[in-house]
Structure 1
Amino acid sequence: MSELNGPKLVIAISSTALFDMRESHEIYESQGVAAYSKYQREHEDDILEPGEAFPLVTKLLRINEKLGGEPRVEVILLSRNSADTGLRVFNSIAHHGLNITRAAFSGGNSPYRYVSAFACHLFLSTNAQDVRSALDSGMAAATLLPSQKSVSESDELRFAFDGDAVLFSDASERIFKERGLDAFTANEKAEARMPLDAGPFKIFLQTLHSLQAEFPIDECPIRTALVTARAAPAHERVVRTLREWGIRIDESLFLGGLSKGDFLKSFGADVFFDDQQVHCSSASEHVATGHVPHGVANELKE
């Protein structure tokens, strides 16, 4: 797309993240592919209920209505279904009035390899292995977890991000995990003016920032927050890194190890991305949460 038309944000969503497909998935797990295919064909006119990513997708697509002209946000459907069994998914997309026209049905194989081909900035799925494969290929990706969130009625779209191993590399977090808090703090003070290396979500955040710039600040439908366990004096390096990248974060919460869930609820996040399962579990009690299986915290778990 030309600069004249502004930035375009492209997000890939798995069918199991967009819709609630637990019932058919249980048939697949217990009875196999043939029974699953038969079930989907027999129920292809039964509309699927919204899944974990559905509210996020509807808000994303509304941004196009606010800007007018060429669409600035595109959602791509990726599915392990075949086109035949995926007919139910497209029928449900049409029923819910979602402007999703591009899709890849990979017939039982992982669809993550099409994330790059579609030039996507983010991949959201309920399949942890697909997400890990996408991250290993250098793409921003997260596993959407079941949450107890209430759906926000606001049109404003709110993204919240952890810092280390999500927006930034895991180099500093690795020092914390291997050598403790004192070593981490000493390193961040010594390197305060040295920008952090990019993490897997930097380009996604950068694209969001470019999209935000299309709106007057007081009318922007997208709001971002950094929600990190860091505290002073380790905050300075983060601030300087974002400044070096030329990225504005609307809100920054330096929690010094406090539980993130209540703060995310107060922010009103539509989705929160974090690399650590313990933070994701806390967050998912309040907001939609994506686990980013990247960095030292996930290596140690393995």
Structure 2
Amino acid sequence: MPPTFELVVCITAAALFDCTEAREILNRDGFEACKEHQRANLMVPHQPGVGYPLVRSLLALNEAAEKQLVEVVLISCTDSDSGERIRQSIHHYELPITHEDQVRTVLCGTSSKAFTGIAAALVCSIVNTTPNISSNPIQIPESLHCQESDSKLDMTVLPSEVNTSTKYVPSASLPYLSWPEGQVRIAFDGDSVLFSDQAECVFKTEGLEGFFEFERKHGHIALPKGPMQAFALKFQKLRQSLGENHKWRVRTFLVTARNDVYEIERLFIYVRFPPIFQHLLAFIRTWAQHVGLYGQVYCYLGGYSWAILCAYICHTYLSPIKSLSSIEHFSIDEFFSLVQKIFSTFAQFNWSSQELCLYSKSYKQMTLSNKSSVHNRGSMRIISPSPPYNNTGRSTTNSTRDLIIQEFQCVLQLLDSVNIITCEDKMNALKQILELNNDFPNEKTKSLLQLTLSSENIHEIDEWIGWIKSRLVRFVNDCEEECHLIIQTQCSIEYQSNNTEAFYSLAFQLDPQTLDQHQNFFRCLKKCLHQFNLYPNRKTSMKVSYKIVSIHDWKLERMQPKLQRIIK
């Protein structure tokens, strides 16, 4: 009879309990000495191992939900004495682990060679997508070669260097991690875990340049599925089964090194995604929309100790947030408090002034004397997550410009205690951000794409612009990659006095005639306009049109009665 549990997890005894002492005796004195040791300590329970906190937390979900959602299966190759001690340890800690009698009976006295086949058959009979947890990377892989295909079985191998004697923390290597009691957190790597190892293979065969070229060409194509995607989907289904009152008990995180560590601010600040970043997000967004799985926090890190640093930030600073349905729902105080804490974490590292990146990498460093020019300014905005998040965005009149300036002021105040970053560097960073909003269009631009947005009231326009801004990002990148057009993405938004119409302008470094004759440009624009019409709260009164004008004509229009002008 197939299991009715939402999630079934197989775990070895060495992962569930700390068996290092018995293992050392086995390696040093032999099998008989190990059996004697286990027999003499039969009633002495093992200490919790590296997988114990996870198992305890998973089983606690059943109690919270008052129904059987999670099943934990013990599967190990042990002799009769070791198996009996493990059984006594399970009873000591009152762990409701099933199949324990069956596994012990089948495997006691079984040779290691025969174990692989028996274990494989047992696991396959339990569930096709059951994750196996082991503290020994050699212990289970052979068992995956069973009659079922390898892709149907997922295995999580815990690092061997992690101390398995800890009682209350998931890893002795990270003793400072903590989160709300009763909450389970799973962090997934990107490549080769949630997604396939396609990118890894390209990197190994063609090198870094080949890898970047591959990402540029395939940025619009979703990444193939990885070996742990089935488990992630099961985990999300488990979360949904907990109900609204207990969803906070299950949290998922995506940890990936697909971006630069100096642009960690992209967790909350968007600075035009490079092609390699689009590739990843394309998959995340389509996957989230179609299968309902999403990580409540996306942390894009690179360089040194990125996984540990990400885990530290998530577990330490996101603990108070029990339900994160949308970043857009944060209050201003909550938002900046969280950003401050994240930046303070990075402030402890030895950044030099040249490496300080508080603004888009398209900038050139310049001093207060303006000796070096600044060009190709990139746009920045608060990220507006794709569905199932609320994607309407913050009110336009209260969002991008003020929030960016306010956030960087907070960051600069935070970094005041870091002596290696000079006051001049920090003031320079803020000055460039402030100047972003006072230089539209710059002297190199020759034409504007002006979108006219109309609706019945200013509130509807504000919400629609929040949606449109998130869609314009892809249009900007398409123009730069497919059409080879340079766009000054620091746009302007102008409201008419009746508050029922607004102009959204993007500046180009090409004259209007060239744009009119550019087929790829209009193909990208048509695709972008189609996205505008997909706004879920769109009303019949909401309309959009466009025109391409020269900078000269645009300036002449602005000499007419002045409009209420808000720079974004």
2:133 is matched with which residue: 108, 111, 124? 124
Q: Which residue of 2 aligns with 1:94?
A: 91
Q: Work out the CA distance in 2 between the residues paired with 1:128 and 1:33.
A: 21
Q: Measure how far apart 1:189 and its partner are.
A: 2.6
Q: Measure how far apart 1:108 and its partner are.
A: 4.3
Whether the aligned pair in 2 keeps the contact of 1:230 and 1:257 (CA below 8 Å) is no
Q: What SS class does the counterpart of residue 115 from structure 1 fall into?
A: helix
Q: Work out the CA distance in 2 between the residues paired with 1:257 and 1:85.
A: 43
Q: Measure how far apart 1:135 and its partner are.
A: 5.7
1:149 is matched with which residue: 150, 167, 174? 174
Q: Work out the CA distance in 1 between the residues paired with 2:186 and 2:85.
A: 30
Q: Which residue of 2 aligns with 1:293?
A: none
Q: Which residue of 2 aligns with 1:253?
A: 299
Q: Work out the CA distance in 2 between the residues paired with 1:142 and 1:200.
A: 10
Q: Measure how far apart 1:216 and its partner are.
A: 2.1
Q: Work out the CA distance in 1 between the residues paired with 2:62 and 2:246.
A: 18
Q: Measure how far apart 1:51 and its partner are.
A: 0.6
Whether the aligned pair in 2 keeps the contact of 1:223 and 1:250 (CA below 8 Å) is yes
2:35 is matched with which residue: 34, 37, 42? 37
User: Is 2:222 the partner of 1:222?
Assistant: no
Whether the aligned pair in 1 keeps the contact of 2:240 and 2:247 (CA below 8 Å) is no
Whether the aligned pair in 1 keeps the contact of 2:42 and 2:81 (CA below 8 Å) is no
Q: What SS class does the counterpart of residue 18 from structure 2 fall into?
A: coil
Unaligned runs of 5+ in 2: 163-170, 260-273, 317-568
Per-residue CA distance 1:22-62 (angstroms, 9 max, x = gap): 11111111222222222212211111110111111110111
User: Is 2:281 the partner of 1:239?
Assistant: yes
Q: Which piece of structure 1 moves more, 249-258 or 10-19?
A: 249-258
Higher relative contact order (CA 8 A, sep 6+): 1
After superposition, the Cα gap between the structure-2 partners of 1:218 and 1:60, relative to the gap in structure 1 and judged at 3 Å, is closer
2:69 is matched with which residue: 52, 69, 72? 72
Per-residue CA distance 1:229-284 (angstroms, 9 max, x = gap): 10243232222223443221211112143431222112129xxxxxxxxxxxxxxx
Q: Work out the CA distance in 2 between the residues paired with 1:96 and 1:23.
A: 19
The amino acid that maps onto 1:144 is: L
TM-score, normalising length from structure 2?
0.44
User: Is 2:174 the partner of 1:165?
Assistant: no
Q: Work out the CA distance in 1 between the residues paired with 2:245 and 2:65.
A: 14
Q: Measure how far apart 1:218 and its partner are.
A: 7.6
Whether the aligned pair in 1 keeps the contact of 2:2 and 2:126 (CA below 8 Å) is no
Q: What SS class does the counterpart of residue 11 from structure 2 fall into?
A: strand
After superposition, the Cα gap between the structure-2 partners of 1:224 and 1:181, relative to the gap in structure 1 and judged at 3 Å, is same
Q: Which residue of 2 aligns with 1:133?
A: 142
Identity across matched positions, percent: 31
Q: Measure how far apart 1:171 and its partner are.
A: 0.9
The amino acid that maps onto 1:252 is: Y
The amino acid that maps onto 1:86 is: G
Question: Root-mean-square deviation (CA), in Å?
Answer: 2.5
> How many residue pairs end up in the alignment?
266
After superposition, the Cα gap between the structure-2 partners of 1:32 and 1:48, relative to the gap in structure 1 and judged at 3 Å, is same
Q: Which residue of 2 aligns with 1:278?
A: none
Q: Which residue of 2 aligns with 1:285?
A: none
Q: Which residue of 1 aligns with 2:22?
A: 24
The amino acid that maps onto 1:126 is: S
Q: Which residue of 1 aligns with 2:8?
A: 10
Q: What SS class does the counterpart of residue 268 from structure 1 fall into?
A: helix
2:60 is matched with which residue: 45, 52, 62? 62
Q: Which residue of 1 aligns with 2:313?
A: 266
Whether the aligned pair in 2 keeps the contact of 1:134 and 1:141 (CA below 8 Å) is no
After superposition, the Cα gap between the structure-2 partners of 1:164 and 1:27, relative to the gap in structure 1 and judged at 3 Å, is same
After superposition, the Cα gap between the structure-2 partners of 1:28 and 1:157, relative to the gap in structure 1 and judged at 3 Å, is same
Q: What SS class does the counterpart of residue 226 from structure 1 fall into?
A: strand
After superposition, the Cα gap between the structure-2 partners of 1:233 and 1:134, relative to the gap in structure 1 and judged at 3 Å, is farther
TM-score, normalising length from structure 1?
0.80
Q: Which residue of 2 aligns with 1:174?
A: 201
Unaligned runs of 5+ in 1: 270-302
